[in-house]
Structure formats: structure tokens, C-alpha cells
Amino acid sequence: MLDDKKTIFSGIQPSGFVTLGNYLGAINNWIKLQNDYNCFYCIADLHTITVRQEPAKFRKTAVELLMQYIAAGLDPEINIIYCQSHVHQHAELSWILSCFTYMGELQRMTQFKEKSQKHSDNINAGLFTYPVLMASDILLYQTELVPVGEDQKQHLEITREIASRFNKIYGDVFKIPEVYIPKAGARVMALQDPSKKMSKSDENANNTVAIMDKPEIIMSKFKKAVTDSENEVRFSETKPGVSNLINIYCAVTGNTIEQTEKEFSSGGYGVFKKAVGEAVVAKLEPIQKKFYDLQNNKDYIDTIIKNNTERASYVAEKTIRKVKKKIGFLPKV
């Protein structure tokens, strides 16, 4: 870690399976970054308990998320993939930074407003201070770049605000992070409603393909995908369903849009949807196989968890020590 590579940090909540959208839009790009940046990917389980979780299922989802990331190609010996709750400095910094965050700032967060409407029976304080924990995640590692989607940009803004405020009082303690916009990466939309992003929390299972879905499920979801009343495989703003399928096909095969339009210039949507399904199945097959291998190799997974927790803790501890010193806490003896 003592090199001059920039640090990238991102967090993923263990609240479901990795989707084809996460894979094509994010993970697949992260693989390309692993040699040029110091990358931290945290399984953000502390964030997930702002909504009630069933313990056994929650535990399983977290470890399966880790395995899916590794299976999808993120090397856990190069990247630091770890569990947020294993590194206590996240919670510690979160308390400290909550004293440098204003109620008004948190009240303005759109995600808080949305989530408190959705979970109106459980508007807990954690839901309110969620952005402070996220800021702590990012700032603990002296992160420079954060690859996040549109919905998380406001959280990055508040992170920058908190960090600058702290630095103004105590000197240069935190690096000020920026949003990382990947050079390429498919934006995968919901299969039944191409006006919105594919999301693991979608209530309609036919909108989402999980990278661990069985081949016959994948085929059936593509078969049911929404298209339009024409029968022409052509990329166009006025054909969002078909364009989404073209994007997916290009992302998994490496073909261009033109090649794809040409390849399916006859045969119509039926043939095309089947081909998209088959291409996705073929792309996911090795990932699924690797996942099942990892499932049978608990010792290896335990070693990864142990080593990566240590690597993350080392960096986190350096920051928290500095923060405490600057604030004026009595040093531990």
C-alpha cells in the first residue's frame, strides 16, 4: 500500500444477489482497474441493518456476495475485498464524523426521504445517519476515487463536505474524494421496464437477471423481455427494450452495435432474444462454476476474509489514530 497508486473505494450492500447489471456495469470494469489502483471493495453490512434482516439469511448473503465477487473475476489477493463489520474503525469514525455533520444536511438527503417513506414503520436513527457511515467508509482509506451510480452521488457530495469541514479545523487529515466515472461499462436496464435500471431490490423478478440464475431461468427471462411492436433489431432511443438487449449482447460478446444489428437483420425478436439469453448463459457459466468451487472451499474463503480484514484494518487504523490525535483525545497507554 505504500506505493503511489491512487485509491479506489466502493461499498456493496449484502442485500441480495449480484445482478447482470452490477456485473456488466461495475465489476467487469473493476477487474480492469485492479493493477493500476489500490482498490477496496467493502461488503457494507453495517449499512444493511438500517432495514431489518433475518440473521441466518443475512450471514449467508454476505459470504455469498464475497464469493460472487471473486468468482466474477476480482482477485482477492490484489483487491482488498472485506466485510465492513470486521473493521471496527468504520463505526468509530462514523461516531466522530457525526459530530461534524449537521441535522439539516442529513434531512436534505433524497435517499433518507425515500427510504423513510418506504419503511415508514422503521424510520430509525441509522437510516438518518447512513451518509455519515458511508463518508467514514470512504475517508478511512484516504480514498481518491469512488465509483458510484447516480443515486449515490449526493452521498459523495456530503462526504466531501464533511471531510473539508474537518480538514479546515484540524489540517490535512482526509483526502477529498471524487466520483469515478468509468471509461466504459454497460448500463443495463430492467427487462420488463427499460426506463429504469436493473436493480437487485426490484419486486418483479423478471426485471432482473442474477449472475447465479440457472440457465433455464435466464433463458425464460430474456424470452419475456419487453421489446416493441416492430420486429426490427435496431438500436434507437425510441426502442428502449430492444436497445437494452443489444447493449447486453454487445457487452457479453464484445461485438459492436452495428455487427449485432447486421447479425440479426432477419429472424426478428424471437431469434434475437434467444441469442441474447444464450450469450449471457455462456458468459456466466464459468463464473457460476467458480462460485460452486469456492462454496466447497471454505478454508480458502476463511483465509481471504482473515487476510483482507487485516489489510483493511491496517490502513483504517492509521487514519483513525491520526483523527483521534488531532481531535485531542487522551492517548492510550
In the numeric block, the cell 472485506 is attached to: 82
Residue 83 as a binder of ligand TRP (CB under 6 A): the answer is: no
When CB distances to ligand TRP are compared, the closest residue is 11
40: which strand partners? 9, 80
Binding piece for ligand TRP, criterion CB under 6 A, among 92-100, 134-142, 265-273, 301-309: 134-142
Among positions 43, 109, 134, 284, the unique one binding ligand TRP when judged by CB under 6 A: 134
Q: Lay out the site mask for ligand TRP across 38-77 (x = CB under 6 A, - = otherwise).
A: ------x--x------------------------------
Residue 14 as a binder of ligand TRP (CB under 6 A): the answer is: no
In the numeric block, the cell 467508509 is attached to: 137
3-state secondary structure the chain: CCCCCEEEEEEECCCCCCEHHHHHHHHHHHHHHCCCEEEEEEECHHHHCCCCCCHHHHHHHHHHHHHHHHHCCCCCCCCEEEEHHHCCHHHHHHHHHHCCCCHHHHHCCHHHHHHHHHCCCCCCHHHHHHHHHHHHHHHHCCCCEECCCHHHHHHHHHHHHHHHHHHHHHCCCCCCCEECCCCCCCCCECCCCCCCECCCCCCCHHHCCECCCCHHHHHHHHHCCCCCCCCCCCCCCCCHHHHHHHHHHHHHHCCCHHHHHHHCCCCHHHHHHHHHHHHHHHHHHHHHHHHHHHHCCHHHHHHHHHHHHHHHHHHHHHHHHHHHHHHCCCCCC
**Nearer Cβ to ligand TRP (149/240):** 149
**Nearer Cβ to ligand TRP (13/243):** 13
Pairing between strand 145-146 and 178-179? Answer: parallel
CA 279 – CA 296 distance, rounded (Å): 27
Residue 137 as a binder of ligand TRP (CB under 6 A): the answer is: yes
In the numeric block, the cell 466522530 is attached to: 96
Binding piece for ligand TRP, criterion CB under 6 A, among 130-138, 214-222, 268-276, 300-308: 130-138
**Nearer Cβ to ligand TRP (129/227):** 129
CB of 11 to ligand TRP, least distance (A): 3
**Nearer Cβ to ligand TRP (131/241):** 131
Residue 177 as a binder of ligand TRP (CB under 6 A): the answer is: no
Residue 148 as a binder of ligand TRP (CB under 6 A): the answer is: yes
Binding piece for ligand TRP, criterion CB under 6 A, among 133-141, 206-214, 217-225, 309-317: 133-141
CB of 44 to ligand TRP, least distance (A): 4
Residue 115 as a binder of ligand TRP (CB under 6 A): the answer is: no
Pairing between strand 178-179 and 37-43? Answer: unpaired
Residue 146 as a binder of ligand TRP (CB under 6 A): the answer is: yes
CB of 90 to ligand TRP, least distance (A): 9
Q: How many residues bind ligand TRP (CB under 6 A)?
A: 12
CB of 296 to ligand TRP, least distance (A): 29
**Nearer Cβ to ligand TRP (133/252):** 133
CA 193 – CA 195 distance, rounded (Å): 5
CB of 134 to ligand TRP, least distance (A): 4
Among positions 10, 94, 227, 319, the unique one binding ligand TRP when judged by CB under 6 A: 10
**Nearer Cβ to ligand TRP (140/279):** 140
Q: Which positions touch ligand TRP (CB under 6 A)? A: 9-11, 13, 44, 47, 134, 137-138, 146, 148, 152
